Amino acid sequence: MIIKQQPLVSIIMPVYNTGNIITNTLDSILSQSYTNFELIIVDDGSTDTSGHICSTYAAKDKRIRLIRQQNKGICKARNVGIQLAKGKYLAFCDHDDIYHTSLLETTVKYAEDFNLEVIKYSVEIQNEIKGNITYNRHIGKEKRFQYFDNKQIRQEFLHLINTGFCNTIWSAMYNASLFKDGALYFNPCYKHGGEDFDLNIRLYPNVKSLGILQDVLYIHYLRNTLSTSAKFYDDVLQHSQKELYSINNLLSNGIPINKKEYTLYCSEKITSILSYAVMMGKDRMQITQLLNNLFTFINWNNTIPMPVGREYLKGWVLILLRHRLFGVLSALFYFYKMKK
């Protein structure tokens, strides 16, 4: 009788100044019901107790590979993990998040049974900033599991983006060949978020088989002290504009164009960019200039004139942009800032 060897999973986790919180993360990974994994910890120049805690755990569990480097940022830390990974599959974990006990067992089973290159699962989000809990689930909610081939992925790509599908790397397990064969890495230009979206929109159009699982297998925490998304940075505005360009580039290279989904994406993206600019304290002149820049990134032939329903107000953002009424929009968002 031939006994099938369980595939190795490489879990990649950058660590930087997370303090004692990391013990909960490490315990959740090391207590997985599926045991054939390696945990690659990349200590990205921590100056607190994080490095010592990781060393203590690594001394007790041979599945941990601890790498130390000077602080280079999360993208370069993850890239080091990808280069060193020995597993058939890659999984990611933030240094303050939690794996459900069955995460690896469940994802490996589906990946092997259905020959999946990516298995996406649902996430519980605990927002310590707002004090609430939400759940991040994706399309196919009526079924526990759905399978997509490459044609279906490309057809649904804009809809997947609009559901937040590409926003995170830690909500999926990937076949390592997607990274190794395609030399796919995180872009180190991203310093304050957005790196996961940038990588995923380069990855998913080439995925041949995708599984979407509704099981909640991961807990993500939003904390004031650790999350870069809780702060404001100018480069976030620059990268958000780049996203619009990247999406248009994908559409011009064979991704089917769903005008409704494209319009919803543009309206959501522009609204979020302008809101972010307001929260940063940008003045009316700066916001007007930002609007001028955004105008050049939209392919108006792919939009529809009037989104309806709950996207109606966001649709007006596109309408005002279409007619180049930048003054109206900048005044609107500046007034919003004053009201806040």
- DSSP assignment string, 261-292: HHHHHHHHHHHHHHHHHHHHT--HHHHHHHHH
pLDDT beneath 50, residues of the chain: 1-3, 306-313, 334-340
Give residue 324's pLDDT: 53
Does 260 lie in the same domain as 198?
no
Give residue 248's pLDDT: 85
Give residue 189's pLDDT: 92
The backbone torsions φ and ψ at residue 40, rounded to the nearest 5 degrees and listed phi first, read -95, 110
101 near 94, Cβ under 8 Å?
no
User: Could you tell me the CATH number of the domain that includes residue 181?
Assistant: 3.90.550.10
Give residue 4's pLDDT: 59
Q: What is the residue range of 132's domain?
A: 9-229
Q: At which of 229, 248, 280 does a domain end?
A: 229
173 near 110, Cβ under 8 Å?
no
160 inside domain: yes
77 inside domain: yes
2 inside domain: no
Q: What whole-number distance in Å separates Cα of residue 105 and Cα of residue 306?
A: 46
Give residue 339's pLDDT: 40
- Count of structural domains, the chain: 2
**pLDDT tens by residue, 255-305:** 888 888 888 888 778 777 877 877 787 777 787 777 777 777 778 788 776
Does 218 lie in the same domain as 269?
no
Does 164 lie in the same domain as 18?
yes
Q: What whole-number distance in Å separates Cα of residue 82 and Cα of residue 154?
A: 26
Q: What whole-number distance in Å separates Cα of residue 55 and Cα of residue 67?
A: 10
**pLDDT tens by residue, 60-82:** 999 999 999 999 999 999 999 99
Q: What whole-number distance in Å separates Cα of residue 324 and Cα of residue 320?
A: 6
Does 238 lie in the same domain as 223?
no
Q: What whole-number distance in Å separates Cα of residue 244 and Cα of residue 131?
A: 32
269 inside domain: yes
State the pTM of this model.
Answer: 0.86
Give residue 113's pLDDT: 97
Does 262 lie in the same domain as 120?
no
